[in-house]
Structures are given as structure tokens and as C-alpha cells.
Amino acid sequence: MSQRRSLDEGLPDTVGEDAPVRQSMIRERLPEARRSPIPPPPPEGSLPLRPSRLPLSPHSPRDEAQALVHRLVGCGPEGVARPMERLLELGELALDVLARAFPGPLWPTAQRIPGTEFRTRSAVAAVLVAFGEAAWPHVEWLMQAPTLRVRVQACELVAALPRPELMEALTTAALDTERDVRAAAQRILASLTDTRSRELARLGLRSHLAPHFESKLRRRALDALVELRDAASASCLIELLADGDRVLARRAHLGLRLITGHDFGNLRDGWTRWHTTHGARSRADWLRSGLEDRRPELAELACSELAALEAE
């Protein structure tokens, strides 16, 4: 206390307008080691035009983003709006923190966030999608994550962000070593409505049928194309009937049956003649003509595939 009285001795005993003068005089009498810099006033116009509804953080923007994401992971659909608002204001910095926290705890079932047009299964995913186009590079990064759970959930994000730039990553996911990732990617590929994105993804899968790829990768690409019932792949599958990988050739034959509703055996000649004549027709036309096949099992197959196609 004696030191404090000696510092105050001889100083004007005033408040209000004289308070800054008093603080400056106290600072001048402190030893140099104990002096702290006096921060300059903020430049004019540096404050945000509209203050956030959340309390301002005394920490750095990254600290604030991390605190908000920590709060976010415990939110249900009804509690996402307020932290989302501030995270959107923080921009790219918040996206980086969100991506590192993805997917966070999953809600029990897919739920719609009020006032939005997307479905998601976690609060972290909801905010990532709310960033829109700015989020797609982070989604691409997540789809290559070493953790299975992250890759699966990242595929689900593509349904809400069907950007053409994400199709290469989605194609890679459809060829993943893990069955769950492949299933998630194929489900999203089947649901794509954007024509350009859909075609880019399927072209990517067809490219992996080339002989220079390893057998396992070629088989996964073929399985994905058959699962998608990709009519444009019929000519590729016909070529694979003569492939040196006989497992791949057998899968190509089964795939052609499912896609076309016909069966011309496991040799290329019959399929090539049929495709030359009917290849330009739609898959629905192929299946309708397959209903007339005299083999009951093939007519039944064509009927089942046609019903599934018309239900889409």
C-alpha cells in the first residue's frame, strides 16, 4: 500500500475528464519494466456496421471460432441459428475450425433445419452447408480424411453442395477401399440432379475401367456403374466381355443384363450387333423390349428394372 500512496502523491485528485491525465502521470513514474503499452484508439469506421447478437469475445478470432464450434457440437436443430450467425461472420477462419470438428455428434435421424433447404445430420454439417460455395474446398478435403466416419459423412454433404468441383472427390469415394464409403458415394451419385455434375462423376468412373488400372479398382468402378444403372456404360461393358480379367468379364455380363434387360451371352459379337442397332434408344425402351423375351427369368428381370426406373 505504501508504494501505491507514493505513486499517487502529488497527483491531481480528479476524475472524469482529468482521469486520462492522472493515468499517464502514474505510468511515467513506474519503472520501465512495469510499463505496458497504451493501445491506440481503433481507427474510425473499424467497428462492424451491425454488432453480433453474441457477446464479443476477448480472445482472438480463432479462439472465438473454436469456442463457438465447441458450443455448436452440443446443439440440436433448434439451437444452431445463433452460433451459426457469428461463425458465418467470421468467414474462412470459422470454416477451417468447422472442418476440423466435422462431423461432430450426429443427430438420431436426418432433420431439417428451420428456414433452410437442406437436410443434414449434425450441427457442424449444418453450418458448413450454410457457407454455400465457400465450403466446397473444405468438403473436398474431408472426403480424403483418414477416418472412415469422416469420409462417409463428407459424402453426405455433397448432396447439399452438388458442385462440379466435388465430382472427382465423389468418384474417388465411390472407389474407396471401405464398403461404407463406397455405398454412401454411390447413393449420392444416384441422387444427383445436376446434369453436368452427374455426367462428370460417371465419366470419372468409366475412366477407371481402363486396363492400366489395377483389377480391384476396375471392379469397383464397374460395380458402381452397374449400381447406378448407367446406360451410357453399356458399350464399355461390352468391351470388357473379352477382358483378360475373367472375374471382371463375368461382372460385365451380369451388369449388361441388369442395365439392358437382355442377354446375348458372354461374348462380344451378339452384344455388339444388338448395340449397333439399338444403342441410341433409351434404357426404358431397352427394358420394354426385354419384357417380350421368351425366357421368363429375363422378362421378369426387365419388368423389375423397368418398375424401378419409372419410380425414380
- Each of the 312 residues of the chain gets a pLDDT tens digit; together they read 444 444 444 444 444 445 454 445 544 544 454 444 444 544 544 444 444 444 444 568 888 999 999 999 888 888 888 899 999 999 988 999 999 999 988 887 655 555 444 456 889 999 999 998 899 999 999 999 999 999 999 998 888 888 899 999 999 999 999 999 999 999 999 988 888 999 999 999 999 999 999 999 999 999 999 999 999 999 999 999 999 999 999 999 999 999 999 999 999 999 999 999 999 999 999 999 999 999 999 999 999 999 999 987
- 3-state helix, strand, coil split of the chain in percent (to 5) is 65, 0, 35
- Distance CA(27)–CA(39), nearest Å, equals 14
82 exposed, middle or buried (CB, 10 Å; 0-12, 13-18, 19+)?
middle
Would you list the DSSP string of 100-117?
HH-S-SPPSS-EEPTT-S
pLDDT digits (tens, 9 = 90+) for 17-45: 454 544 455 445 444 544 444 445 445 44
Query: Cα 183 from chain centroid?
Result: 15
Would you list the DSSP string of 244-279?
S-HHHHHHHHHHHHHHHS----SSHHHHHHHHHHHT
Instruction: State the amino acid at position 15 in one-letter form.
Output: V
- Distance CA(64)–CA(217), nearest Å, equals 44
The model's pTM is 0.72
Residues 104, 72 contacting (CB under 8 angstroms): yes
pLDDT digits (tens, 9 = 90+) for 71-104: 998 888 888 888 999 999 999 889 999 999 999 8
